[in-house]
Amino acid sequence: MALYLHRFSGRCAAGDQFNYSWRVDSIRTIDAAHSAAVVWNQTLWNGATAGNGYKDHCTADVAMNLVETSEFELLNGHLLRKRSTGQLIAGVAGGNALPADCCVVVSLRSELPRRSGRGRFYLPQPSAGSVTLDGRVAADLINDTLAALTAAWGAYNTGVDRPSIYSKSPVPIMRPIVSFNIPDSFGTQRRRENKVGDVRTTATMP
C-alpha cells in the first residue's frame, strides 16, 4: 500500500494563498491517485449537482490553482515522488468575500475516539452571503459542501483506496476515515502562505 498526500491550493480574494489537504492509503499508482484527486476536487467545487458546489459560495476572486499529490514512506515520512496539475476553478457568487482567515472547517473522524484518530482541513473564505444573521455558517453552504464531499469521496474511494488519518505516534499508522462533519462556526487560519500585509490606520493619543 502507498501513502499519498493530496494538496489543493489557490488564491484568496486579497491575494493570500490557501491550501487544504488529506491523505490516502492506496494501492493505486501515484499517477492514478493524482488523477483521482483532480476529479475529487472538481466535484467539490462544481458540486454534486450544478449550482451546489463550493464555488457557488465563493466570490470570483477566490479560485483554485493547483492540485499536488505526494507519495511518502509510511515509516519515516520521507518524500518519494510528486505530481502536480494546474486546476483553475473560480467562485461564482456575488457580493463580497469574508476575510481570508475565515474558513469552513471539515472535520475528519476515524474509529479511534482520540486526538490521533481525528483530522481536519480548512476550505477557503466563502462569500458574505454564506453567513447567517447571527454570524454562523449558513445551512445551505454546509449542506452543499457535505453533498459535494460525499459525491467526491464516493467516486474516489474504491474500498482499497481509503482516505485516512495518518498518525506518527506511538508508531506510524493509517486509520480509515469513517465520517466527516462541518460545524456551523467558522474556523480561522491566521497563517497563510504569501500573506497579504495589513494596512494600518493610526490615530495620535490625545
**CA–CA separation, 48 and 116 (whole Å):** 30
What are the structural domain ranges in the chain? 2-188
Judge contact between 122 and 187, C-beta under 8 A.
yes
**CA–CA separation, 156 and 153 (whole Å):** 5
Report residue 171 as a C-alpha cell.
508508531
- C-alpha distances (whole Å) from 125 to each of 48, 58, 69 are 20, 7, 23
Please tell me the predicted confidence (pLDDT) of residue 199: 82
Please tell me the predicted confidence (pLDDT) of residue 186: 95
Q: What is the pLDDT along the chain (206 residues), one digit of tens a residue?
A: 799 999 999 999 998 899 999 999 999 999 999 999 999 999 999 999 999 999 999 999 999 999 999 999 888 888 999 999 999 999 999 999 999 989 999 999 999 888 888 999 999 999 999 999 999 999 999 999 999 999 999 999 887 889 999 887 777 888 999 999 999 999 988 766 566 777 888 898 99
Which residues face 122 on adjacent strands? 105
Q: Grid cell 460545524 — which residue?
A: 183
Of 122, 127, 110, 125, the residue nearest 174 (C-alpha): 110
